[in-house]
Amino acid sequence: MRIGGPAARAGTTTRTLRYHESRGPLPARRTGNNHRTHEESDLKLLRQIRTLQDFGFEREETRPFVGCLRAGHPKGDACSASLAVYRRELGELDALIGELRAVRASVGEQLARAERARAERARDEPAADAAVSGGPEPVRERGGHR
């Protein structure tokens, strides 16, 4: 079988399939005429790794899920080690969400102070805003999203 077939069935690229063959989680079996051969369980394993990586899991964090599948479980998250990774990841996400909420609150407070000060200046000096150069609003990207 050509490499494109199993890669497409697993929802990944040929480069990713070769990478996982070279790094170990995916067996690199070959037929007598040197064509790759992959079982459905191999493709399930690749799909599991891809899903976890889409979630932001590092390669090392996927190991318990791979081990669970290799042990014959129908899902990579059927084992306690996999559940521990989920719990740890959720804890990290909760901490990040808490940090972002704190930053958002600080930015909101700063905006409110700035708007109050601006309103007070506008009452005292109506022409003050006209003297300030109005350029484009600054844009900041977070997490690859705008």
| Tens digit of each residue's pLDDT, the chain (146 residues) | 567 777 788 787 878 877 877 777 777 677 777 777 777 777 888 888 888 988 999 988 999 999 999 899 999 999 999 999 999 999 999 999 999 999 999 999 999 999 999 999 988 876 655 555 666 666 776 665 44
HSE value, Cβ hemisphere, 13 Å, CA-based, for 12: 24
User: Looking at the whole model, is its pTM more than 0.75?
Assistant: no
In three-state secondary structure terms, 29 is: coil
Give the model's pLDDT for residue 146.
42
In three-state secondary structure terms, 145 is: strand
Helix (H) / strand (E) containing 57 = none
Q: What's the rounded Cα separation, in Å, for the pair 46 and 9?
A: 10
Give the model's pLDDT for residue 77.
93
The answer to whether 43 touches 62, Cβ cutoff 8 Å, is no
Tokens 């909420």 found at: 101
